């Protein structure tokens, strides 16, 4: 995908024929069926009876305010400990061995805004797969003996860019921060259990299912294996942390100003086009956990600011570039049915409607771009003398 993004400037000048034909390739899909369990779990079912596979993509959000301020990176330690803990009546090793023998893929991964769940199995193995999913989500108490090995496994020396990573993550509302040594030393089993009880709840799970299941069959399977999932009550989440508007980080080497722009919602039409046009002009991809950012070196803070203003003033796109970006986006959407797993992840994450992208005018796009640039947050990086002179 990164390689494809790099060719956009050339495409903007002269869109190839396949781009012009993209609107006619758009697939027509039926609306999903919505399934609601008494526990609050909601699932969207995309029926595809001509496939022999069942896929699931789920998401459990974790807000930055839900991670204790003195324990940054705690979700990474939680996930590692959760994976090493027993599931149902099986040890972690036995559980994984059963998945491997059965050809079932079940994974939980850390995402900038929470935990992402993926499951894939053959239709004939759906009973076992749903049962294992129920064990994974509803019957996985944290193992105290798993904590210390995972703590040591995650130990790492501080990154020279750790302060920058923290700034960018806080700006974008991301919890995807490697746990520093202070967190690994302080965090106890109780801290992990509180976070787990707050996050791993049926009402928080957003689940999309795709495969040869009717709504009645999917409801029955979910009720049998996840209907009894009823975690204990927890206290309300702590208050949200303030977003930094400006920061300074001392480091060796020449001075640098980093201007970072907050990410946009993925279902925003302009965000989809930013994702195509901006990578050639700015670093980063503008997704949650990875905000748009523009590093500007300078011999002095004043020079860096002047350089920044010059670069931002020249950040504009023509009508032809916008038209080509729309065609490129449509072509990419038309290819989604060829990768059902990617299509399911896109639906779960959110994406703009095709007509919203079509209707976006050049004036609206430029206005959204100016608004984005006006929301930049500054991070000054350099030696002490350079930072002292920075505004």
Mean pLDDT across 188-202 = 93
CA 343 from centroid of its chain's CA atoms? 15
Question: Which of 295, 251, 258 shows the shortest CA–CA distance to 386?
Answer: 251
Compute the average pLDDT of residues 264-286: 88
| Cα–Cα distance list, 30 to 12, 107, 210, 291 (Å) | 32, 28, 12, 33
| pLDDT, mean of residues 221-237 | 83
> Reading across the β-sheet that carries 256-261, which strands appear in turn?
246-250, 377-382, 256-261, 292-297
Q: 197, 332, 172: which is closest to 265 by C-alpha?
A: 172
Do the Cβ atoms of 256 and 351 come closer than 8 Å?
Answer: no
Name the pLDDT band for 18 (thresholds 50, 70, 90). very low
**Mean pLDDT in the chain?**
86
Range of weakest confidence among 248-257, 266-275, 358-367: 248-257
Quick one: pLDDT at residue 29? 57
CB atoms within 10 A of CB 17: 6
Angle between helix axes 362-374 and 269-277 (nearest 10 degrees) is 80
Across 10-20, average pLDDT: 36
CB 368 within 8 A of CB 315: no
Name the least confident of 166-175, 182-191, 309-318, 323-332. Answer: 166-175
CA 12 to chain centre: 28
Beta bridge partners of 295: 258
Lowest-confidence pick of 6-20, 155-169, 260-274: 6-20
Q: Is the pLDDT of residue 19 over 70?
A: no
Q: Which residue has the tokens 């992840």?
A: 345
Q: What is the pLDDT of residues 33-87, one digit of tens each?
A: 999 999 999 999 999 988 889 999 999 999 888 999 899 899 999 999 999 999 9
Q: Where are the alpha helices (DSSP H) in the chain?
A: 2-5, 8-13, 17-20, 74-83, 92-102, 126-138, 144-154, 162-172, 181-186, 189-199, 215-226, 269-277, 301-313, 319-334, 340-349, 354-359, 362-374, 384-389
Q: Using pLDDT thresholds of 50, 70 and 90, give the confidence band for residue 166.
A: confident
User: For residue 332, which phi and psi values (nearest 5 degrees)?
Assistant: -70, -40
Sign of the alpha-carbon torsion through 233, 234, 239, 240: negative
pLDDT number for residue 207: 96
pLDDT for 233 = 73
Give the DSSP letter string of 305-368.
HHHHHHHHHT----HHHHHHHHHHHHHHHHTGGGSHHHHHHHHHH----HHHHHH--HHHHHHH
pLDDT tens per residue, range 88-114: 999 999 999 999 999 999 999 999 899
């Amino acid at each position: 995908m990164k390689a494809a993004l790099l060719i956009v400037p050339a495409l903007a000048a002269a869109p190839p024929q396949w781009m012009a034909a993209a609107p006619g390739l758009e697939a027509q899909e039926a609306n999903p069926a919505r399934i609601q369990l008494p526990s609050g779990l909601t699932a969207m079912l995309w029926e595809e009876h001509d496939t022999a596979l069942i896929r699931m993509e789920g998401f459990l959000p974790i807000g930055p305010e839900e991670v204790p301020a003195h324990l940054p990176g705690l979700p990474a330690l939680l996930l590692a400990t959760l994976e090493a803990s027993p599931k149902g009546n099986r040890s972690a090793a036995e559980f994984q061995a059963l998945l491997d023998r059965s050809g079932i893929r079940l994974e939980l991964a850390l995402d900038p805004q929470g935990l992402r769940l993926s499951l894939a199995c053959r239709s004939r193995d759906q009973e076992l797969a749903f049962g294992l999913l129920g064990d994974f989500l509803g019957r996985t108490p944290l193992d105290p003996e798993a904590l210390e090995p995972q703590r040591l496994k995650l130990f790492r020396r501080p990154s020279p860019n750790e302060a920058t990573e923290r700034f960018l993550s806080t700006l974008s509302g991301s919890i995807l921060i490697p746990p520093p040594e202070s967190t690994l030393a302080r965090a106890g089993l109780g801290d992990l259990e509180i976070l787990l009880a707050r996050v791993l709840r049926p009402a928080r799970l957003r689940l999309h299912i795709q495969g040869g299941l009717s709504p009645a069959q999917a409801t029955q399977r979910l009720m049998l294996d996840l209907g009894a999932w009823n975690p204990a009550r927890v206290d309300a989440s702590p208050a949200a942390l303030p977003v930094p508007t400006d920061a300074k980080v001392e480091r060796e080497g020449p001075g640098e100003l980093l201007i970072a722009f907050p990410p946009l919602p993925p279902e925003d039409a302009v965000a989809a086009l930013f994702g195509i046009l901006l990578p050639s002009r700015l670093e980063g991809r503008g997704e949650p956990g990875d905000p748009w950012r523009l590093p500007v070196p300078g011999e002095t803070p004043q020079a860096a600011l002047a350089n920044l203003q010059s670069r931002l003033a020249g950040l504009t796109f023509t009508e032809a570039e916008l038209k080509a970006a729309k065609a490129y986006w449509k072509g990419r959407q038309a290819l989604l049915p060829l990768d059902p797993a990617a299509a399911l992840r896109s639906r779960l994450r959110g994406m703009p409607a095709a007509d919203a992208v079509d209707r976006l005018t050049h004036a609206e796009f430029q206005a959204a771009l100016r608004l984005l640039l006006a929301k930049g947050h500054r991070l000054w990086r350099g030696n002490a003398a350079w930072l002292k002179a920075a505004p």
